[in-house]
Structure 1
Amino acid sequence: MSPVLLFAVSLDRAHLQLLRQRYYYATWKADGTRYMMLITREGCYLIDRKFTFRRVQLRFPRRGVQQGCFESHHLTLLDGEMIIDTVPETGEQKRRYLVYDLMMVNHQPKIKLPFHERWKLIDKEIIEPRTYDIKTNKYYRYDMEPFRVRKKDFWMLSAVGKVLNDFIPKLSHQADGLIFQGWDDPYIPHTHDGLLKWKYAHMNSVDFLFEIGEGNRQTMYLIDKGRNRKLEGAHVTFPDDQDPSNLSGKVIECSWNPKEQCWEFMRVRTDKPTPNGWHTYMKVMRSIEDNITQDIVLDEIAEIIRLPMYAERIKLETQALQHAARRR
Structure 2
Amino acid sequence: MLSLEDVGKKVDEKEKFKIYKKIIEKLNYPFIETLYAKFFGSHPVTLSNETIELLINRDYYVCEKSDGIRVLLYIYNDNKFVYSFFFDRKNDFYLVNINNNIKIGTYLFDGELYNDFGKNSSEIVFSIFDCLIYEGNDFSFQNLQKRLEVCQNFINLYKNVDGFKKYKFKIQVKQMFKSYGFYQVYSEIDNLAHKNDGLIFTPVYQPYVFGRCYTLLKWKPPSLNTVDFLLRKNKEVKNCYELLCFGKNNEMIIFDHFFDFEIEEDRGRNVKESNKIKESNINMKNDLYRGEKDGERDGNQNIIPEDKNKGDMKKDKEDRQRDGNQNIKQEVKNKGEMKKDKEDRQRDGNQNIIQEEENKGKINQNDEEFERKRIKISQDSRIQDKTEEVYDGKIGEFVFLNNSKSIDLNDLSIKDGAWSLLKIRNDKNTPNSFKVIINIMSSIEENICFEELTKHFKNIKNGWNYRILNHLKR
In the superposition, the TM-score normalised over structure 1's length comes to 0.84
Please name the residue that 2:397 is paired with: 253
**For the Cα contact (< 8 Å) 1:60–1:130, is it kept in 2?**
no
**For the Cα contact (< 8 Å) 2:240–2:259, is it kept in 1?**
no
1:33 aligns with 2:69: yes
CA 1:218/1:101 → structure 2, altered by over 3 Å: closer, same or farther? same
**For the Cα contact (< 8 Å) 1:236–1:262, is it kept in 2?**
no
1:293 aligns with 2:449: yes
**For the Cα contact (< 8 Å) 2:45–2:214, is it kept in 1?**
yes
**For the Cα contact (< 8 Å) 2:231–2:395, is it kept in 1?**
yes
* Cα distance in 2 for residues equivalent to 1:60 and 1:227: 46
Please name the residue that 1:114 is paired with: 143
1:25: how far off? 1.3
1:315: how far off? 12
**For the Cα contact (< 8 Å) 1:104–1:110, is it kept in 2?**
yes
**What is the identity, as a one-letter code, of the residue corresponding to 2:158?**
R
Structure 1 residues 65-84: aligned runs within 5 Å: 71-73=103-105, 75-84=106-115
1:311: how far off? 4.3
Please name the residue that 2:245 is paired with: 222
Structure 1 residues 299-318: aligned runs within 5 Å: 299-307=455-463, 309-311=464-466, 313=468
1:145: how far off? 2.1
1:49 aligns with 2:63: no
* Cα distance in 2 for residues equivalent to 1:247 and 1:217: 10
* Cα distance in 1 for residues equivalent to 2:100 and 2:54: 37
Structure 1 residues 1-328: aligned runs within 5 Å: 1=36, 2-41=38-77, 42=81, 43-57=83-97, 71-73=103-105, 75-87=106-118, 89-90=119-120, 92-124=121-153, 126-131=154-159, 134=160, 140=162, 142-165=164-187, 167-214=188-235, 215-224=238-247, 225-232=249-256, 235=259, 241-243=385-387, 245-260=389-404, 261-307=417-463, 309-311=464-466, 313=468
Tell me the alpha carbon deviations over residues 244-263 of structure 1, each in whole angstroms, 9 at most, x when there is no partner.
64211100111122221212
1:212: how far off? 2.0
Return 237-246 or 203-212, whichever deviates more.
237-246
Secondary structure at 1:258 match in 2: strand
**For the Cα contact (< 8 Å) 1:157–1:301, is it kept in 2?**
no
**For the Cα contact (< 8 Å) 2:62–2:201, is it kept in 1?**
yes
1:173: how far off? 0.7
1:105: how far off? 1.2
* Cα distance in 2 for residues equivalent to 1:98 and 1:27: 11
CA 1:94/1:171 → structure 2, altered by over 3 Å: closer, same or farther? same
**For the Cα contact (< 8 Å) 1:252–1:269, is it kept in 2?**
yes
* Cα distance in 1 for residues equivalent to 2:392 and 2:242: 9
Secondary structure at 1:297 match in 2: helix
CA 1:313/1:25 → structure 2, altered by over 3 Å: closer, same or farther? farther
Return 78-87 or 211-220, whichever deviates more.
211-220
Mark the runs of 5 or more structure 1 residues left unpaired by the alignment.
62-69, 318-328
1:234: how far off? 5.2
Secondary structure at 1:296 match in 2: helix
* Cα distance in 2 for residues equivalent to 1:9 and 1:169: 25
CA 1:237/1:10 → structure 2, altered by over 3 Å: closer, same or farther? farther
In the superposition, the TM-score normalised over structure 2's length comes to 0.59
1:71: how far off? 2.0
Please name the residue that 1:323 is paired with: none
CA 1:150/1:240 → structure 2, altered by over 3 Å: closer, same or farther? closer
Secondary structure at 2:435 match in 1: helix
* Cα distance in 1 for residues equivalent to 2:164 and 2:140: 30
CA 1:22/1:312 → structure 2, altered by over 3 Å: closer, same or farther? closer
**For the Cα contact (< 8 Å) 2:240–2:258, is it kept in 1?**
no
CA 1:229/1:287 → structure 2, altered by over 3 Å: closer, same or farther? same
**For the Cα contact (< 8 Å) 1:236–1:264, is it kept in 2?**
no
* Cα distance in 2 for residues equivalent to 1:236 and 1:279: 26
Mark the runs of 5 or more structure 2 residues left unpaired by the alignment.
1-35, 263-382, 405-416
How big is the alpha-carbon RMSD for the aligned residues of Structure 1 and Structure 2?
2.4
Higher strand share: 1
**For the Cα contact (< 8 Å) 1:206–1:284, is it kept in 2?**
yes
1:264: how far off? 1.4
Q: Percent identity?
A: 23
Secondary structure at 1:246 match in 2: coil
**For the Cα contact (< 8 Å) 1:8–1:193, is it kept in 2?**
yes
Secondary structure at 1:232 match in 2: strand
CA 1:240/1:127 → structure 2, altered by over 3 Å: closer, same or farther? closer
**For the Cα contact (< 8 Å) 2:65–2:200, is it kept in 1?**
yes
1:93: how far off? 2.4
* Cα distance in 1 for residues equivalent to 2:203 and 2:125: 25
Secondary structure at 1:306 match in 2: helix
In the comparison of the two structures, how many residue pairs are matched?
297
CA 1:280/1:236 → structure 2, altered by over 3 Å: closer, same or farther? farther
Q: Which has the larger radius of gyration?
A: 2
Tell me the alpha carbon deviations over residues 113-148 of structure 1, each in whole angstroms, 9 at most, x when there is no partner.
111111111011x111113xx1xx5xx365542100
* Cα distance in 2 for residues equivalent to 1:111 and 1:230: 36
* Cα distance in 1 for residues equivalent to 2:151 and 2:469: 22
**What is the identity, as a one-letter code, of the residue corresponding to 2:134?**
V
- The higher-RCO structure (CA 8 Å, 6+ apart) is 1
